[in-house]
Structures are given as C-alpha cells and as structure tokens.
C-alpha cells in the first residue's frame, strides 16, 4: 500500500505529483489550476470570511469523514451569516506514512461536498510532518462568501422572536462517540454532517426576515442558545418536547451521562425569526427535514439565560456545557 512520505512535502518532484495528480485532479478549477502563490478573486459587495481547523478522531465516521466535515463546516459558517459560499482555501498537515488511498477518499469527498454549495477551493498548502508529530491528518480551511442578507447576527435576537431548530439534535457527537467506544448499536447513528447552504438559500429566496442563525457545532444547541442570550440580552424559553432527539442518540446520552443539547452537530442550525414569519420559515425547513421544529420564543426578561420547560410542568436553566465532553469532535 502506498503511503505519504516526507518527500511529498519537500517541494520537489514528489510534492508536485501529489498536488497535480491528487488535489488538482479532484479540486481543480480555473483559479486553482493557475498554480500561483495567491489566488486572484472577484468579490462584489459585502463579504463574510471564516476559518477553521479540523482534527476529528476518527477520520472516517458514519455519514462522513474529515474532508466532508472540513468543507461543510466552513461553508456552513458562511451560510450562518447569510453569505453564499464562493471560495475556500485548504491546508493539509499530513503525517508521514498516511495511506494514499485514504487521502484520496478524503479529497474526493471534499470535491463532492463542494458541488452542493458551488464553492471552489482556490488555493492551498500541503505539509508532511514526521511520524508521531500529527495524528494522521489535520485540515485547515478558510472560506469567503458574498452576503445575501445583511443584519444576521447573534446580537439581533429580539423579544418575541420564534426559535427554530432545523432537525433532530446530537447526531454527530453521538456518532463519533459510538465510533470511539466501538459501540455495536442495533441502529448505527449517522452523523448529520451536511452543507446547510441550500436550506438557508431557500429561506433567503422566500424573503424570510432572519434575525439570527448559528450552526450548533461544539457545545451543541446549549452553547448557541446561551451565546444568543448574552449577546442579545434576552431570555429564551424553550419547550423540551419540541426539540427532536432520536431514540438512538438519547440512548447513547443515557449510557454516558450526557445531555443531547450539549452534543456537537455538523448539519443542524438554530434560527431566530419574527413570530409572524415562523410558520413560513418552518415550512421551508421541513422541505429538508421532517424533524425541523419551532421550539420556543425570546422574551425581554432577566436573567439572560435559556429556560427549558419540561412536559411535566417543571422548568430549569439550560446552561452552557461544562468542561470538554468530547475532544477532537471536529
């Protein structure tokens, strides 16, 4: 089996072959194939820019791999600002001895995921480090997108806003945890890893007046909701029974003592819209997921925290997650 050698990052013939026969083969486009030191881009109007590093373990999981995760995660951050993803940079840190077949599988999945949003990888970098200096493969991506709707912000949740969740929660965290612990589940949990731009694009095209958006990655929906409370100085009141959690995810949470609200997602977002736009927004989200739901409302009250109402009439604060539940989750 062919493996990556230190020479593949040395700037010589081997590195040139790696770039041209692998990265250019799957990710090539008119800008990347110019092979310049920097990409020359055409941008109009306001743009959004984001960057992220991906170190997930394991590199391959049910529903995706580190390559799909890197593309989806980056374009999703742009989409959450109402920006259409356009350009990505991509940096690979590869451990010496990494299997070429695995690297090709990862790059192919990146190429497939890029097709969903139409974004292009326009520049990149490759470093190969000695064995033991990295855990297989790390990927860094930076994304640029053209903003289609201004004003979407964590600081813009307003009293009376409806809070919507795009699908059932906790799938990515439960999937990765199951893989690490080699759990043999009757129904294996599949990560929700996915590009969210098509959903956001549909909302923008239907002129949904979105106030806030956030994909609930590390820290799950608990972190997002509490960040919104602090940033917008509101209180969020949610109905526990309205938040969809699959039986399999709930089972994993009970086994390990986690809450599904705290688990990472990679294809799930939270949206705040005016109450009179909630049903229209929900109808659009349900075209993509039957589990999309209106889960609560924002009110002008203190403390600026999230309150969860149980089906039995009790209430509790849904706080920020404490500690690091699952390191290397994305």
Report pLDDT digits (tens) over 142-177.
999 999 999 999 999 999 999 999 999 999 999 999
Per-residue pLDDT, averaged over 107-116, amounts to 98
| Spatial distance between the Cα atoms of 91 and 201, rounded to a whole number of angstroms | 27
Four-way CATH pick for 6-147: 3.30.1330.10, 3.40.630.30, 1.10.620.20, 3.30.1360.10? 3.30.1330.10
Whether the per-residue pLDDT at 182 is higher than 90: the answer is no
pLDDT of residue 324: 78
pLDDT digit string (tens) for 49-60? 999 999 999 999
Whether the per-residue pLDDT at 314 is higher than 90: the answer is yes
Whether the per-residue pLDDT at 326 is higher than 90: the answer is no
pLDDT of residue 325: 79
The percentage of residues in the chain with a pLDDT greater than 70, rounded to a whole number, is: 100
| Spatial distance between the Cα atoms of 189 and 110, rounded to a whole number of angstroms | 22
| Spatial distance between the Cα atoms of 89 and 212, rounded to a whole number of angstroms | 26
Supply the DSSP string of 244-266, one letter for each residue: ---HHHHHHHHHHT--GGGS--S
pLDDT of residue 176: 96
Q: Do you know the residue count of the chain?
A: 330
pLDDT of residue 194: 98
Cα–chain center distance at 236:
23
pLDDT digit string (tens) for 203-247? 999 999 999 999 999 999 999 999 999 999 999 999 999 999 999
Establish how many alpha carbons lie within 13 A of residue 291's alpha carbon, considering only the half-sphere containing its beta carbon.
15
What superfamily does domain 162-317 belong to in CATH? PurM-like C-terminal domain (3.90.650.10)
pLDDT-derived band at 92, boundaries 50, 70, 90: very high
Q: What is the mean pLDDT of the chain?
A: 96
pLDDT of residue 225: 98
| 288 within 8 A of 116, measured Cβ to Cβ | no
Nearest Cα to Cα of residue 210 among 259, 143, 277: 277
Per-residue pLDDT, averaged over 133-150, amounts to 97
Per-residue pLDDT, averaged over 31-35, amounts to 95
What pTM was computed for the model?
0.96
Q: Where are the domains of the chain?
A: 6-147, 162-317
pLDDT-derived band at 30, boundaries 50, 70, 90: very high
The percentage of residues in the chain with a pLDDT greater than 90, rounded to a whole number, is: 94
Whether the per-residue pLDDT at 43 is higher than 90: the answer is no
């Amino acid at each position: 089996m062919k493996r990556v050698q230190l020479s593949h990052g040395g700037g010589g013939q081997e590195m040139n072959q790696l770039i041209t026969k692998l990265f250019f083969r799957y990710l090539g486009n008119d800008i990347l194939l110019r092979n310049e030191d920097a990409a020359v881009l055409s941008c109009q109007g306001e743009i959004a820019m984001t960057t992220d590093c991906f170190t997930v373990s394991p590199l391959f999981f049910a529903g995706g791999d580190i390559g799909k995760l890197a593309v989806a995660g980056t374009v999703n951050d742009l989409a959450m600002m109402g920006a259409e993803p356009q350009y990505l940079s991509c940096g690979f840190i590869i451990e010496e001895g990494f299997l070429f077949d695995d690297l090709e599988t990862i790059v192919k999945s990146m190429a497939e995921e890029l097709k969903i949003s139409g974004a292009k990888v326009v520049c990149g970098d490759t470093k190969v480090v000695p064995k033991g200096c990295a855990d297989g493969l790390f990927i860094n991506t930076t994304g640029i997108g053209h903003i289609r709707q201004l004003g979407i912000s964590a600081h813009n949740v307003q009293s009376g806003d409806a809070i919507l969740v795009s699908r059932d929660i906790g799938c990515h965290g439960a999937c990765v945890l199951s893989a690490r612990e080699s759990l043999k589940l009757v129904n294996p949990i599949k990560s929700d890893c996915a590009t969210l731009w098509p959903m956001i694009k549909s909302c923008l095209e239907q002129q949904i007046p979105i106030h806030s958006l956030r994909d609930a990655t590390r820290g799950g929906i608990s972190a997002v909701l509490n960040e919104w409370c602090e940033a917008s100085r509101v209180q969020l009141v949610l109905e526990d029974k309205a938040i969809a959690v699959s039986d399999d995810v709930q089972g994993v949470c009970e086994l390990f003592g986690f809450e599904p609200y705290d688990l990472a997602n990679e294809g799930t977002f939270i949206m705040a819209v005016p109450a009179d736009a909630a049903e229209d927004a929900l109808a659009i989200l349900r075209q993509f997921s039957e589990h999309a739901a209106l889960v609560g409302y924002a009110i002008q009250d203190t403390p600026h925290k999230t309150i969860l109402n149980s089906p039995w009439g009790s209430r509790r604060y849904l706080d920020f997650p404490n500690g690091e539940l699952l390191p290397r989750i994305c």
